Amino acid sequence: MGKGRKNVKGIKIPQTVARVLIEVDVSKPPPLSVKFKLKSGRFYIQYVIYDTFHDYYFHCKKFGHRPFTCNVLHEFERKEREDEVNKRQVGIAEKRGDPIRMEAILEKKETTPEIDKSKGN
């Protein structure tokens, strides 16, 4: 704790509690623990409890939302599911020897969803 913190009136901080500011790289998930080296040379692992945590999602590296509301992640997952279904359909068509079905699948054009700019995302 800094010296200025001890002189503030009205704040009582127990000697068993330490409040620490942790600087983190916002392109990575926040640390759940911090490793301290003690004077004895041994290490102590302290689990981190965040007072507040801003709405920030590490997948798309943007503030203002979380995984459940991330349009970038939802679109990525939708595309992965679509690709998996297409792979299965091609495999089934190959096993059956169904050239028409295979042709229809292979000719399927990629569509890009339009983003609604009025939502502000």
Q: Is residue 119 part of a domain?
A: no
Total domain count for the chain? Answer: 1
H/E run at residue 45: strand 43-47
**Which residue range(s) make up the domain with 108?**
3-114
pLDDT-based confidence at 107, cuts 50/70/90? low
Q: Is residue 55 part of a domain?
A: yes
The alpha carbon of 26 is separated from its chain's Cα centroid by a whole number of angstroms, namely 10
Predicted pLDDT of residue 77: 79
Cβ 21 vs Cβ 35: under 8 Å: no
Cβ 71 vs Cβ 57: under 8 Å: no
Which pTM was predicted?
Answer: 0.36
Q: pLDDT at residue 19 above 60? A: yes
Query: Between residues 57 and 40, which one has the greater pLDDT?
Result: 40
Q: Is residue 50 part of a domain?
A: yes
Predicted pLDDT of residue 112: 53
Q: pLDDT at residue 42 above 90? A: yes
Q: Is residue 32 part of a domain?
A: yes
